[in-house]
Structure 1
Amino acid sequence: MSKGEYMRYKSCVIAMTGVCVALFGVTAQAADVRVKGTIAPASCSFTITQSVFDYGRIQPSSLSATQYTKLERKSTPFAVKCDAATLVSIRTQDNRASSKVPGMMQAAFNSTYNDMFNYGLGVSTKNEKIGGYVMLMSNTVADGKAVRVNGSSNNGATWTVGDGALAQPPHLTSWASSASTAPVALSTVSGNLLVQAVINKTSAFSVGSGISLDGHATLELRYL
């Protein structure tokens, strides 16, 4: 190889080497992709304007020794508000269940009001049962339209037309149009929560220096 040919070959090798250096000097680039979200029902609130129903002082002379005595109904507004149309229901819990007087509400109202609709009013200092009360919802309006208060006796598997009375588990209460028993998805529903107390026969307890009514129930908003 002549000197001139060798120099041309060397120049070629140097040029090629420069290209390789440039290629190997490139840094690999990467980008992360993340997929996020939350699967959850719409957020709902449940409010009762006045949660204490106070019957004040009751004169023993106004009560019967042989019959259950119904006191007047008391009422307060309630409201459910959701940030999107949602299927919801009400589940109740009687926190004084051991003080129920069996069969009281069927005698005071009618045969459909079995003990599932009976909430206890506590006991006297001698552990005597004072009475009970029923709870109902009335004048209910959902998203500007009147709705019925319907019930389920099997945790929402099936629904029947109700009269507004709130029963205890496995019962649920919800709202439906007049054309169906199934609950409707709603953004808002409002109405009145009614409470009516019934006092036991005074022959079943001693008034003594006085007895305090002590009903206590929890109303829980549940998603369907």
Structure 2
Amino acid sequence: MKTPISLLSGALLLALSSSVFAASSVDLTVKGLITPSACTPSLPGDVDFGKIAAKDLNIDTPTALEHKTLPLSINCDAATLFAIQPIDNRAGSALSRFYFGLGMTNENQKLGLYLLGFTNPVAETPSTLLAMYNADGRWITLLPDEVMGPNDLVALGSRGDSGWAPHPIKDALVDVTLYTTINPAKDLTLTDEVAIDGSATFEVKYL
């Protein structure tokens, strides 16, 4: 017995329609955790390089400025798992997204850049400085001569059975050092005063 072509077409259309209906919705899961503990980061002030004469800048190569170090303190209501994420408020004014920018000149030229070093952690629990780069999910030890760029994470932690990981801290103190350079003078218009205008936010990320 032959199946009428109209019935066969109808059955095929019904099968295709069922597949479309089955794939036409998706669930959204919303997760999070409200923590009773809060942490407050603080710095003692700004980094000020004062006035720098244009004639003292290197013509063809970047000029490294004096290293500046500030103590960063983090105080929590109770022992808390957290990391610090530095965010560049002058994004786009550095040579690449891996550096913090120093703002733009009056002629819209990129003035320079800086990176951050973290050293000398002090906390109520013996701690090692840890870093996570590019949000790759892996914590590694942060050596004293290593630097970090925007959006990387730094935490205080220790080594356990599964490797290095942050541990809860109530109060911590860490030295933050700026490694700053001004771009070659040949690339800058310096006929008028130009402000060094770097800005970053240290944000507490609860883990």
Q: Is the 8 A contact 2:41 2:202 kept in 1?
A: no
Alignment partner of 1:48 is 2:29: no
Q: Given the alignment of the two structures, is residue 65 of structure 1 paired with residue 65 of structure 2, yes or no?
A: no
1:133 alignment partner, SS class: strand
- 8 Å CA contact 1:136–1:165 kept in 2: the answer is yes
Kindly report which structure 2 residues correspond to 1:1-224, keeping only aligned pairs within 5 A, or say none: 40-50=35-45, 52-102=46-96, 115-116=97-98, 118-143=99-124, 145=126, 147-155=127-135, 157-163=137-143, 165-169=147-151, 171-177=152-158, 181-224=164-207
Shift in Å, 1:75: 1.5
Provide the C-alpha distance between the structure 2 equivalents of 1:178 and 1:48, rounded to a whole number of angstroms.
28
TM-score normalised to the size of structure 1?
0.69
Amino acid of the structure 2 residue aligned with 1:43 = A
Equivalent AA in structure 1 for residue 204 of structure 2: L
2:159–2:165: 8 Å Cα contact kept in structure 1? no
Asked whether the 8 Å contact 1:101–1:200 carries over to 2, the reply is no
Measured in 2, the distance between the counterparts of 1:205 and 1:43 equals: 44
Q: Aligned partners of 1:60 and 1:39: how far apart in 2?
A: 51
Contact kept, 8 Å, 1:121 with 1:216, in 2: the verdict is yes
Secondary structure of 2:55's match? Answer: helix
Q: Runs of at least 4 residues of structure 1 off by over 4 A?
A: none
Q: Gaps (5+ residues) in structure 2?
A: 1-32
Cα distance between partner residues in 1 of 2:59 and 2:48: 23
CA shift at 1:64, angstroms?
0.7
Unpaired segments ≥5 residues, structure 1? 1-37, 103-114
Cα RMSD, aligned residues only: 2.1
Q: Over residues 95-150 of structure 1, what are the superposed CA-to-partner deviations in whole Å (9 max), with x where a residue is unaligned?
A: 11111124xxxxxxxxxxxx52x1000111110111011122211112153x3321
Judged with a 3 Å threshold, the aligned counterparts in structure 2 of structure 1 residues 70 and 39 are, in CA distance, closer, same or farther, namely: closer
**Alignment coverage as a number of residue pairs:** 171
Matched-pair identity in %: 29
Q: Taking structure 2 as the reference length, what is the TM-score of the superposition?
A: 0.75
